[in-house]
Amino acid sequence: MLKIGEKYLFQDSWEGRRSCLMFFKEDDCMSWSVDIGFTPGDLNGEEIDPSLCINSIDTDKNSVEELTGETFSVTTIEESADREDAFYIYEWEPMVSYDLEVVEIIDSKAHVRCKGVLILDGYTNPYIEEKFEIDSWIPVIESVIDWEKFETH
């Protein structure tokens, strides 16, 4: 679930493979990333289709199960933009800041929480910011065949 500000709520969506925690393992280099899509809904009288993209995070963990308790933070817009982490509201925009946590991993699903400040509208001057909170269960994907487990959801 995504909460924007104090009153806007959006449910998780697994449709079209929009949501996952990906764990990559190549040679001795491991990393993970998070994408979460949400169902369309109302924000200030307009229907939006929000989604979050947090790109590759290097880790010393050898398995996805070891990510339980792992955290990652970004504290500036510049850092978010450099990493190409983004939140889609009306357009893709970097986030002002965020804290991401892998709470637990059970049955090939990851419980993730993320909170921070996103840019609602980057075309205004100054741009419009809003706090957000995410508390979601998403599929864990380690290879393309893992998607088959979640096709019926």
112/98 Cα distance (integer angstroms): 13
Tens digits of residue pLDDT in 16-38: 888 999 999 887 789 999 999 99
- In the prediction, which pLDDT does 115 show? 98
Is 0.85 topped by the overall pTM? yes
Q: Is the dihedral of CA 124, 126, 127, 131 positive or negative?
A: negative
Distance of CA 24 to the CA centre of its chain: 16
E runs forming strands in the chain: 2-4, 8-10, 12-13, 20-26, 29-38, 41-43, 46-48, 51-59, 71-74, 86-88, 92-93, 97-106, 109-121, 128-141
Token couple for 122: 């980057």
Tens digits of residue pLDDT in 81-135: 999 999 999 899 999 999 999 999 999 999 999 999 999 888 888 888 999 999 9
Reply yes or no on whether the pLDDT at 152 is more than 60.
no
Residue 69 buriedness (CB in 10 A; 0-12 / 13-18 / 19+): exposed
